[in-house]
Amino acid sequence: MRIRKSATLLTLLCLGLLSAGCQAGGGASDANRYIQSDIEQLEAAIVRCDEIAADKAIPSLETFDLLRQYEYEDVRVFLITRSAAMSEECQKPHLTELAYSIGMLEASTAYTEVEDLISSVKPLMYGKETWALKERYFQLPEAMRKELESIPYFQEPFRNIPIIKELESENRP
């Protein structure tokens, strides 16, 4: 799920950059170069954070034992939402910089030059799905969230799918 989301984000960002470059009619304006630089830095952060998650081994047996103490569906929600949150946390400095740049350009006279590019990027940053995931996460039992969040494995980007598959294989009749 995270890989697909990252690939989609990268594709849309690249298309936005290409579109903005074409609209600039040759040389990109200062505003275009400014926002494109922030987007490129975010793209690099997405790749770096995905690599961190991909390079991480599955959790220890003790962690799996702890996960098994909770309802499978709650654990599944925790893993999916926590994985997304840790990726977002890893990317946060670049997301923050891009959000700042967007706000600054929206308030400037250069906004019309980058309006299409900003319009294509904003839904990716502020989509409905982001809040829906967080809302579901906060509906989990607080004690469970706190205990699992305290495990170092879940405090940086990780892949949730291998863990979910392992837990699913144990739950099959």
DSSP codes joined into one string, 21-46: HHHTTSSPPHHHHHHHHHHHHHHHHH
Q: What is the mean pLDDT of residues 96-118?
A: 83
Confidence of residue 116 (pLDDT cuts 50, 70, 90): confident
pLDDT at 5: 53
pTM of the model: 0.73
* Amino acid 33: pLDDT: 87
Q: Is the dihedral of CA 32, 41, 134, 130 positive or negative?
A: positive
Segment 13-64, tens digit of pLDDT: 444 444 444 444 445 688 888 888 888 999 999 999 999 999 999 999 999 9
What are φ and ψ of residue 53, in 5° steps? -65, -45
**Backbone phi, psi, residue 40, to 5°:** -65, -40
Q: Coil, strand, or helix at residue 140?
A: coil
Distance CA 103, CA 114 (A): 12
